[in-house]
Every structure is written in C-alpha cells, then in structure tokens.
C-alpha cells in the first residue's frame, strides 16, 4: 500500500506540472491572439485612413477562426480530464473489488492430521474465510513410497465427476478419513524399512461466493519408525 500511495502522489505531481506548462494547443492560441492584436492595430490604422470595409471583413473572419480554435481546445482539455477521471474511477473500482474478494472469500485448508495407523489417517479441513465455500470436493491418494519420491497432486489424476460436493460454512470443519485398507500388504510391510514412508496427498476443490473455483493442494507422510506426521517439501499450496 505505501508503494501505491507514493506512485499515486508522484502521478498527481506530474499531472499538476503538466497543467502548469503551456502545451502546443495553448501556444497556438496565444499566437493567434497576438495576430488578432496586430490586426486590431491595423484595423485602427485602416479606420484612420478610410479603408474600413476591407479590414473589417477580414478582421471578423479572423475572430471567428480564433473562437473556433479556442472552443476546440477547451473541448479537448475537458475530454482529457474526463478520460483521466474515468481511468481513475475504473482503477479504484478494480482495487475495491480485489480487496472485497480477498477479504470475504472462503479459504479452505487443513488444520490437523491425526494418524490412526494401520487403519486410517484422519484429516480435518476448515473454512478459515468469512463466507461459505460451495461444492467442496476432497480428492486424495495414499501409497507407500520411497522417502525420496515425494508426491505432487495434479487435478487431472482425479475423477471429479464421481466425488460428492457439499457446502462448508465459515469457521466450520469437516473430517476426512483416509483409509489404508486398499494398500497391498507387501507395500505396508515396507514401512518397517526407514527408507519408506506412508504418503498421503490430494486436492480440495471448491467454489467461493464470487463463483470462482479454488484449489488447496496438500501432501504429507507418516513415519512408522518415528510415529510422526510430516509435511512434504512440495505439493502444499492454494489458490
């Protein structure tokens, strides 16, 4: 915000400076004014010498030309001011909209993970935002892998059409049970080897009140040797 304020202040100073300097249009009008003054002197001289009709006709034509040029310049300046005001209003409206989105939108994340090895891993998801999250879907995978093979969830690996969706109100939570029964016994036996971990990863997909689809990715592991839950170095982010 300080950088934005300084930038706006600098822009205002620049606009003020521009307004204080004569632009080419104003210079041309001043030049025409000088010409009119000269013609006025000539008209005065002509009046004294008796050649009034000729100079009167040309003098009036020149006055009309100056009036048209002056009006065109005024319209141009007014249009420039209106354009700047319109751009400023549009910028402020966009900033207000972005602020409202970030302030009021739903934010779903994982608050706690509880291992219930060897049957399941309990994951609690919470809406930390100020408005409801709609059609919340939870997709996940569990597998035994080498500790160096950290998983990274991709939206394409899940069949979202088969996953149920439900709303989640602000500050409310929901428990998800990641069952381990589908992992082969041969893989589960590897967990006694320190090189292997029980990994769990997935994506939480939902829609906020601004009708935008949001994603929260998570990735963690369970160490049987140390009986602790850990977070993977990648695969944990949100939109």
Write down how long the chain is: 239
Q: Give the confidence band of 162 by pLDDT, cuts at 50, 70, 90.
A: confident
Residue scoring higher pLDDT (85 or 29) = 85
Using 50, 70 and 90 to split pLDDT, how confident is the model at 65? confident
Please say if the pLDDT value at position 125 is more than 50: yes
69 band by pLDDT with thresholds 50, 70 and 90: confident
What's the pLDDT at 3?
Answer: 47
What's the rounded mean pLDDT across residues 78-86?
88
Of the spans 23-27, 45-49, 60-64, 197-201, which averages the highest pLDDT? 197-201
**Distance, CA of 180 to CA of 119 (rounded, Å):** 5
Full strand arrangement of the beta sheet holding 120-127: 108-116, 120-127, 173-179
Report domain extents, the chain. Answer: 2-104, 108-238
**What's the CATH code, domain 108-238?**
2.60.40
- Average confidence score pLDDT of the chain: 83
pLDDT at 81 over 80: yes
Given a cut of 60, is residue 235 above it in pLDDT?
Answer: yes
133 contacts: CB under 8 Å, gap ≥ 6:
106, 108, 127, 167, 168, 206, 207, 208, 214
Q: Residue ranges of the alpha helices (H) in the chain?
A: 2-20, 24-49, 52-104, 185-189
What token pair was written down for 188?
């589960």
């Amino acid at each position: 915000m300080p950088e934005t304020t300084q930038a706006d202040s600098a822009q205002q100073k620049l606009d003020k400076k521009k307004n204080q300097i004569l632009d080419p249009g104003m210079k041309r009008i001043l030049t025409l004014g000088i010409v009119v003054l000269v013609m006025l002197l000539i008209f005065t001289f002509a009046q004294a010498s008796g050649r009034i009709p000729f100079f009167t006709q040309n003098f009036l034509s020149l006055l009309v030309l100056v009036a048209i040029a002056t009006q065109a310049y005024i319209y141009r300046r007014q249009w420039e001011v209106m354009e700047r005001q319109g751009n400023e209003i549009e910028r402020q409206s966009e900033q207000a909209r972005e602020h409202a989105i970030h302030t009021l939108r739903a934010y779903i994340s994982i608050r706690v993970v509880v291992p219930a090895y060897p049957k399941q891993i309990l994951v609690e998801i919470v809406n930390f935002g100020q408005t409801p999250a709609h059609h919340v879907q939870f997709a996940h995978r569990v597998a035994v892998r080498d500790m160096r093979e950290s998983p990274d969830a991709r939206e394409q690996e899940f069949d979202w059409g088969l996953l149920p969706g439900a709303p989640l109100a602000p500050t409310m939570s929901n428990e998800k049970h990641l069952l381990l029964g589908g992992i082969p016994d041969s893989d589960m036996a590897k967990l006694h080897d320190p090189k292997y971990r029980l990994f769990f990863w997935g994506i939480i997909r939902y829609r906020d009140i601004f009708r935008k689809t949001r994603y929260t990715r998570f990735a963690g592991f369970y160490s049987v040797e140390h009986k602790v839950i850990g977070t993977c170095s990648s695969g944990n982010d949100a939109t």
